[in-house]
Structure formats: structure tokens, C-alpha cells
Amino acid sequence: MSRSRSGVLLVGLFLMAIGLGVLAMDYLRVRSEASMAITLARLGPGTPLETYIAEFGETAYHYTEPNAMRSWGPSTDETLLSQTDLYFFFYSGVPYRFVVVYVDKTTRRSVLVTWKGM
């Protein structure tokens, strides 16, 4: 085999490996998003905080001040911020994400549940 053919073959194999890597990462992302959607549907609003702790482990972040919640959380609704605490739980999957839970201060049950990328 000539040097030019072996070079083309090597470049082709390299590009194919990159393509397979991209496809694998995309597959893992889609699978993780589906798993996240199922989990969030199961643990929707009204779920006790203890259930989230049992599911995901200890909180990664916990905010009680409305200004911090406004900065780090996805909601800026003043009523929600004044009546809830904001919890972030680490969700392992590809890519890594946080489960974001607004918990009512008195009932300790979730009011709003979503996710946020890292």
C-alpha cells in the first residue's frame, strides 16, 4: 500500500472514531434526558423533601434567601421565592445536571421541580 493510501485510511479511521464518539455521547445525553423526565414526572410537585433526599442523596446546594434564589434558580416569581427554599440535588448522567426543587417553607413539600445543566 502506498504512503498516500495509508495516510487516507488513517485519517478516515480517525474521523470515523470521532464520529462514533459523538454518536455515543449524543445517545447517552438522550438516554439521560429521558431518565430525568421520568424521574421528575414521578417526583412532581407535592412530593416531600425527604423523598428527594432518599432519591438523590444530600443536597448539593440549599438557598433560603430570595436574592440568592433569584440568582441561582430558574424562577424569578417573587411569591414563589418568598414562600419556598431552593434545593439543588446532583443527578448523575451524561451530561451532569442538577435537579432543582423549590420546597414550601411550611409543608416541606415540593412546589416546583425542574433541572439545570452544570
At residue 80, the pLDDT reads: 94
59 φ, ψ to 5°? -70, 145
- How far apart are the C-alpha atoms of 55 and 36, rounded to whole Å? 12
Is 45:102 a contact under the CB 8 Å cutoff? no
pLDDT digits (tens, 9 = 90+) for 15-67: 999 999 899 888 888 888 888 888 888 998 999 999 999 999 999 999 999 99
CA dist., res. 114 & res. 68, Å (int): 17
| Residue whose C-alpha cell is 498516500 | 4
CA 94, CA 64: separation in Å to the nearest integer?
29
Look at residue 83 in the predicted model and tell me its pLDDT.
96
- DSSP of 7-43: HHHHHHHHHHHHHHHHHHHHHHHHHHHHHHHHHHHHT
* pTM for the structure as a whole: 0.76
User: By residue range, what is the domain housing residue 44?
Assistant: 3-117
Query: Total structural domains in the chain?
Result: 1
Reply yes or no on whether the pLDDT at 99 is more than 60. Answer: yes
